[in-house]
Structure 1
Amino acid sequence: MHPLVLSLAIHNHQPIGNFDHVIAEAADRAYAPLLGALERHPRIRLALHYSGPLLDWLKPHRPDLLERIRALVSRGQVEMLTGGYYEPILAIFPDADKRGQIEKLTHAVAAEFGVPAEGLWLAERVWEPHLARPLGEAGVRYTIVDDTHFHAVGLAEPQLLGYYLTEEAGVPLAIFPSLKRLRYLIPWGSVEEVLAYLRTLAESDVRADGREDVLDLALMGDDGEKFGLWPGTYEHCWTRGWVDRFFEALEAASWIRVTPPGEYRRSHSPAGRIYLPTATYEEMAGWALPADASARLARLRHELEGSRFAEALPFVRGGFWRHFLVKYPEVNTLYRLALRAGAKIHAMAPGAQQTQALEELWAGEGNCPYWHGVFGGVYLPHIRGAAFSHLIAAEALADAAARDPGPYALGEAADLDGDGHTEVRLATDVLALTVDPGRGGSLVEWDYRPVPRHLGNVLTRRREAYHADLLNAAAAGTLRGAAAEGVESIHTSAVRVKHPGLERHLVYDRTRRPSLRIRLVPQGTTLDQLRRDGQDDLGGLAADAHAWELDVEAGRAAVHLRRRAPIGGGRIAVERTIEAGAGAHGLRHGIRMRWEGTAPLRGILAEEWALGVFGSPEDVWAEAAGRRVPLHEPGTLPEARRVTVTEGYSGLALTFDLSTPAAVWCFPIFTISNSEGGFEQNFQGAVLLHSWSLDLASGDAWQESTRCQITFQRR
């Protein structure tokens, strides 16, 4: 048995937009206790990473923690890591943003802790081969990825006890593998189990070409929140003392030396050259797949475990991280906004305006709302909304810098979402609207610039692979409350729920849930059918392609949409206009329909607005004709010409003035998603429907115009 070097890298992060009380809980239950353990065990030397948003929060709220980190750094016990300041998935953003984000955090680490940071924490360990060059050019000397990446090129576990060198266009980068087994054992296994596993590694005897010494490094990089914030871990790690017992065992083991990865790199030669494929950690690769494929992959892995084909498991890979941009179209909308705003900002003249715009851009690139797995991610509306707000502000700053002050209205037609089809964008000094003619002529992005906000920030209700676990556990009676005792990792098979009966609220939308589309449905269609997306849509008006024409004149920009669709033995001809005016805090939607058929057309026409309004049940409501209904539950309002939707805590009001009185229906959008604390229900906004009963004879026409006015009364 040879001596073993154990290297620990602990990543601490809180996303832009998270609630203060959540970050405070993480600081009290995870970040501060770990610092205390390090202070009690000076021989435990490791690497720490704090993302920019977390550092920004700690400065005013917990400066004492920063002082304690500085003390640990100054005595050589802690090595600081850099990364993208706002914790972006670096691979998907332009190199200028990669470098800017890395350099911003590197400078912040040097200013706050007085040391250079040469190692980089790679967000979600999402690796793509091209990263070596921009990371190296930003001054990074090493990064950490999962052993999954190394297994994919044929390396076995004993070959992972060191670091390797890769390059891109001749720019080198050292890459350390983080061992999955250690990630699962710490802190959920017993201390004895961890030491026993480390002993098996110390008994290996692998020597790399050109290196006399045996490979001797075991590295684990993982989230700091698992040491106290995840369910049951505070009691396990701190009340029952797992971390202190672990550190004591390491200090007592003469054959283990605990060393930060950067120090190891400076004192040991690499294990060899390597070129890794695109990869992330094993769980993330499964989450990136569509729900059916993700479930099949999980079953396949389970069947292979313990079988004679188990040795093939390292080569059974999941999906590609970028597929989240396909799996969740709302994420792609966010991403395309970042790319569009970024291109404009990087074309700005250097100076204070560009610097401010870059800060907004980078804040909107943080990874949390760009994916979903066990953590909330895109399902958390406050995190998703914060990213949209920063990107909307970024684009508004760039647009303002590109033209003379004053109101304006512009229009463009291009493939704005990368699907090969044309979308139409109407932009004014107040609004930016993206209309997708190919998907019902719907409004997929509705940006209000004075108070940066995506007003259509609603999430589609879609099936996730883990919904089967919820349904099966409910049927078997094995659901556990989120507060149930016991320590569990996020990989547990136990099914926890934060509220009883969540399985009864699983509802799925047939298509994406955008804003501002029209539906023609049969007479007798109920509000509950619409809420469950179980209505019979006539003529494909809500989802199918429309012809379009861009119309820009002085002071206004509009898109005209047309569709002729068969219904029964006739055809419905529909013309619509979506229009925004320079300086106007609102938009207009016009509808004109003509029935071409022998028999009368009888049905209900519904103008559907999906609204990204949030808050408690008392905080969001719709009102018309002197009546009010909360938007957390389905409701109806009397026929009216004016409808107002209010978000009480923010002062947002959306007022809809109709040329023809309409019956008003509304219902909430709730999603059921998994999280580290168990299954939860999230309010994702609400749908407002203005509905009219139609009875059209052949040749009859019908028309309506809706004006939506946006106001904010700051609270």
Structure 2
Amino acid sequence: MKKVKLLFGVHMHQPVENFGDAVDEAIELCYGPFFETMRKYSEFKFAVHSSGWLLNEIKTKHPKIFKDIEYLTKKGSIEWVGAGYYEPILSAISSRDRRAQVHKLSSYLKKNLKSTPKGAWLTERVWESSIIPDLTACGLEYVVVDDYHFLSSGFEGEEMDGYYESEEGGEKIALFPISASLRYALPFFSIERSIEAIVNHAKSDESAAIIFDDMEKFGLWPKTHEWVYEKKWLERFLEAVLKDERIETMHYKEYLKTHRSKGLAYLNNTSYFEMGEWSLKSHQNLALESLKKSVGDDYFKNGGVALIKGGIWKNFFIKYHESNHIHKRMTEHSLFQDRLKKDAIESLYKLQTNDVLWHGVFGGLYLPNLRDNAYKYLLEIEASLAKKKPAITFFDIDRDGYEELKVLTKELSILFSSKYGGQLIEFGSLEKLFNWQNTLMRRHEAYHEKILHPTPKIHKASSDEDGIATIHNDEVVVDESLKDELIYDWHPKYSLIDHLCYDAYTLESFKKANFKEVGDFANQPFEFNEAKMEFKREGGVYLEQKYRTSLSKKYSFEEVKLGVTLGIESDFSDKLYYAMEFNLHFAHPHKVLINGENVGDGIVLTHVESIVLEDDFTQKALKITMSKKTTLYAYILNTVSQNESGFELVAQQISLLFSLEFSKSLDLNLSLEVCNV
């Protein structure tokens, strides 16, 4: 009788310092009952990876669960698997930081659980061979990747029942391919079907059925808590495995020692297939989805998988400039970390947490609180470097070929973009560790087509006896009202954006971003004169012909105040409407008051020379002052994003437009100041 070796592993992670309610829910619905159940079946061997932050959160705040974890570790049930402590994408950080993050988690496991990991979990299963020397330098001997990594690199499906060897510069490591079919089977299939799915991997007594997947599937995903615990799927599964003579549970490191490699493998720079889709621009994502459907499942599974694929994970830095900015601000400090103190180094490692840098099924970059946390860690680093005298530098932080002006005062971290109109792209308080310029642009996402053109799902959730649907194939209910929220911006949503229009603006045209722009300043490069602290563009107004127009912005800085002197000169002699756009992020946009008035569905104020935005979260106010009377249009900008439950409307920022008329020339002085409430 053939006997399959079951290598069962689970991965658990929450974004660093995620909302307490979110972590508590995961503890209650998933992590707690999972380890409580596993303790009853300590003879079942399995692997666990946890981000260090989450494991320490459990140890500190949920000692009962940690006792279960300790018990299972001492009994030899759990094999601990390593990775970066704060769950970074290893290929997206430096070699130095990889080793530090991996070593930090390994040291934590050794100190608190007396366990030394030999394997590595890859965050979001993002593979690049360049990480091999760093993993081996940290004492790790194997990595778990997806079978898709192998299939997309030309391997055959029937070869995925063991491990392979790979190398980089002569440093070797073992690669275990996680079975996609088992990931989709457990815990969603019935017990009988789950057991058969495992047994079907047995081609010989050397065969391994390899699964390593998110623990959140076991209780936190929609419908799974009831299925896994209330209906006792997990208990029944463990009992069935332990009773089945065809299955032997085994640790990865044990299998590595007792079984030979299946050969040599070099893998593509890739993650799982869906990640490759998500990293593409929306039209490319839709084209890939259409191509995959057109060739059919059989062709794709039997060869097309090696030819039809999406982008690489780092494409997210191209797809989302907001993600790229956070990442490149991190790499800036990573390169010069020798100047940082211990606490700032820890903030750097927290800043490397992956969740905020990408977006797929889960909120990720679209979640303001995750971006707020990232900027909190960034500003902790900046605060450690701030001096009494402002530090001013001009260099290409974003690695996009255009320089940014960075000003670090005693109280503020400020950045301007030369690529985009000398605009304000970062406005962070070193006191409150909050970036009011943490904004997001409204983009077309491929999944918006499900809202714009809903189609009935072919798949239906299985019956309770047979299993439940996963979030990848469960039916999603679409709220028709979301269609009206699908508005797309044609320029990044920074601040100090210069607009020129022949017709007057309206609140509606501002909301929908469909006013007719006649200038070329809102999304074009400006030249920077460092001696004058001035951004300037020789551009034009376009009305039947081009009218030469120049626009300049000179900046001045105080501890908590930014001053701007704006000048426009145009050959167009008729009346134009100039508008300066601000986009300011707040933790609670709906609670912000503008001159004592709630923004609500939008407000219009006339003859405005100054406004005060009161922020309940930071207990600060932002004061914007103009030297001329303007008309103010303001609204709360929402995005429509996808999550594990369907779609959600997220308030990202307050957008403001200050408009006034002029002819031929305009001089305007304004300031942005942080005040106490």
The question of a shared fold, defined as TM-score above 0.5 by the shorter chain, is answered with yes
Indicate whether 1:705 and 2:669 are aligned. yes
Alignment pair present for 1:182 and 2:182: yes
How far does the alpha carbon of each residue in 1:651-710 deviate from its partner, in whole angstroms, 9 at most, with x for none?
13111122212222111111111111111111111112222122x1xxx53211111111
Partner amino acid for 2:323?
V
Which of 540, 551, 560 aligns to 1:574? It is 551
Distance 1:7 1:302, change over 3 A: same
2:332 paired residue number: 340
The answer for the alignment partner of 2:376 in structure 1 is 389
The separation in 2 between residues aligned to 1:652 and 1:9, in whole angstroms, is: 47
d(CA) in 2 for partners of 1:56 and 1:638? 53
Deviation, structure 1 residue 277: 1.6
Matched, 1:528 2:512: no
Out of 679, 687, 695, which is 2:647 matched to? 679
CA distance in 1, matches of 2:629, 2:85: 51
Q: Classify the secondary structure of the residue corresponding to 1:201.
A: coil
Name which of 579, 586, 589 aligns with 1:606: 579
Alpha-carbon separation, structure 1, partners of 2:516 and 2:287 = 32
Contact 2:366 2:641 in 1 (8 A): yes
1:467 aligns with 2:448: yes
Which residue does 2:482 correspond to in 1? 502
Match of 1:403 in 2: none
What is the DSSP-based 3-state SS (H/G/I as helix, E as strand, rest coil) of the residue aligned with 2:382? helix
Superposition deviation, residue 273 in structure 1: 2.1
Alpha-carbon deviation of 1:452? Answer: 2.0
Match of 1:102 in 2: 102
Q: Cα–Cα, structure 1 residues 227 and 646, in superposed 2: closer, same or farther, change >3 Å?
A: same
Aligned to 1:231: 222
Asked whether the equivalents of residues 479 and 496 of structure 1 are also in contact (C-alpha less than 8 Å), the reply is: no
Alignment root-mean-square deviation, CA: 2.1
Distance change in 2, residues 1:502/1:477 (3 Å): farther
Q: How many Å apart are 1:127 and its aligned residue? A: 0.5
Match of residue 323 from structure 2: 331
CA distance in 2, matches of 1:12, 1:95: 24
Q: For each residue in 1:184-221, what CA deviation from the matched residue of structure 2 results, as whole angstroms up to 9, or x when unmatched?
A: 1111122222222223221x25xxxxxxxx54111111
Identical aligned pairs, as a percentage? 28
Equivalent pair of 1:344/1:395 in contact (CA under 8 Å):
no
Match of 1:628 in 2: 597
Shift of 1:413: 2.5
Instruction: Tell me the equivalent position of 1:408.
Output: 389
Unmatched runs of 5 consecutive residues or more in structure 2: 461-466
TM-score, normalised with respect to structure 1:
0.90
Looking at structure 2, the residues matched to 677 and 233 of structure 1 have their Cα atoms a distance apart, in angstroms, of 12
Residues 1:472 and 1:701: Cα distance change in structure 2 (over 3 Å): closer
Query: Which moved further from structure 2: 247-256 or 523-532?
Result: 523-532
Match in the other structure for 1:285 = 276
Q: For 1:150-189, list aligned pairs within 5 A.
A: 150-189=150-189
Q: Is the 8 A contact 1:576 1:591 kept in 2?
A: yes
Measure the CA separation in 2 of the matches of 1:6 and 1:89.
Answer: 27
Contact 2:82 2:106 in 1 (8 A): yes
Are 1:592 and 2:567 counterparts?
Answer: yes
Unaligned runs of 5+ in 1: 206-213, 401-405, 481-485, 553-557
Report if the CA contact (8 A) 1:29-1:228 is conserved: yes
Q: Which amino acid aligns with 2:616?
A: G
Residue of structure 2 in register with 1:220 after alignment: 211
CA displacement 1:277-306 (0-9 Å, x = unmatched):
211011111111111111111122222234
1:455-492 deviations in whole A, cap 9, x for unaligned?
2111111011111112222x769999xxxxx9431211
Matches of 2:328 and 2:198, distance apart in 1: 45
Is residue 373 of structure 2 the alignment partner of residue 377 of structure 1?
A: no
Match of 1:422 in 2: 403
> For residues 615 and 103 of structure 1, do their structure 2 counterparts lie closer, same or farther at Cα, with a shift above 3 Å needed?
same
Alpha-carbon contact 2:432-2:618 (below 8 Å) kept: no
> Which stretch of structure 1 is more off in the superposition, 464-473 or 368-377?
464-473
The aligned counterpart of 2:74 is: 74
Aligned residues, how many? 668
Query: Taking structure 2 as the reference length, what is the TM-score of the superposition?
Result: 0.94
| In structure 1, C-alpha distance between the alignment counterparts of 2:302 and 2:92, rounded to whole Å | 33
SS at match of 2:473: coil
Instruction: Write the deviation string for residues 403-429 of structure 1: whole angstroms up to 9, x where unpaired.
Output: xxx412233332221122333323333
Contact 1:231 1:487 (C-alpha < 8 Å) held by counterparts: no
Q: In the alignment, what sits opposite 1:555?
A: none
Deviation of the 1:54 alpha carbon: 1.0
Aligned-pair CA distance for 1:310: 4.9
The residue number in structure 1 matching 2:412 is: 431
Aligned counterpart for 2:628 among listed residues 641, 651, 660: 660
Q: Which residue of 2 aligns with 1:4?
A: 4
Distance 1:645 1:477, change over 3 A: farther
- What residue number does 1:483 align with? none
Letter in 1 for 2:364: G
Q: Secondary structure at the match of 1:450?
A: coil
Change (3 A) 1:311 1:684: same
1:208 is aligned to none
Residue of structure 1 equivalent to 2:463? none
Match of 2:351 in 1: 364
Q: What's the counterpart of residue 51 of structure 1?
A: 51
Report the CA distance shift for 1:32/1:309 in structure 2 as closer, same or farther (over 3 A): closer
Q: AA paired with 1:620?
A: V
Aligned-residue offset at 1:309: 6.3
Indicate if the aligned counterparts of 1:118 and 1:141 stay in contact, CA closer than 8 A: yes
Distance of 2:153 and 2:45 partners within structure 1: 31
Q: 1:247 aligns with which of 238, 244, 254?
A: 238
Q: Deviations over 1:494-540 (max 9, x none)?
A: 2235x662232111111222222111122332111111111111211
CA 1:435 to 1:279, structure 2 compared with 1: closer, same or farther past 3 Å? same
Match of 1:296 among 276, 287, 304: 287
1:60-99 alpha-carbon deviations (Å, 9 max, x no partner):
3212111110011001111112211110001011111111
Report 1:17-96 matches (<5 A): 17-96=17-96
Per the alignment, do residues 274 and 634 of structure 1 end up closer, same or farther by CA in structure 2, a change over 3 Å counting? Answer: same
The one-letter code of the counterpart of 2:593 is W
Q: Structure 1 CA distance, aligned partners of 2:227 and 2:295? A: 32
Is the 2:392–2:407 contact (alpha carbons within 8 Å) kept by the matching residues of 1? yes
Q: Are 1:320 and 2:312 matched, yes or no?
A: yes
Secondary structure at 1:530 match in 2: helix
Distance apart, 1:354 and its partner CA: 2.1
Paired residue type of 1:573: S
CA–CA distance in 2 between the matches of 1:666 and 1:278? 44
Instruction: Say if 1:612 and 1:160 are closer, same or farther in 2 by CA, change over 3 A.
Output: same
List per-residue Cα deviations over 1:244-281 (Å, max 9, x = no partner).
Answer: 12112111210101112122213223222222121101
Whether the aligned pair in 1 keeps the contact of 2:417 and 2:425 (CA below 8 Å) is: yes
CA contact (8 A) 1:120 1:142 kept: yes
SS of residue in 2 equivalent to 1:679: strand
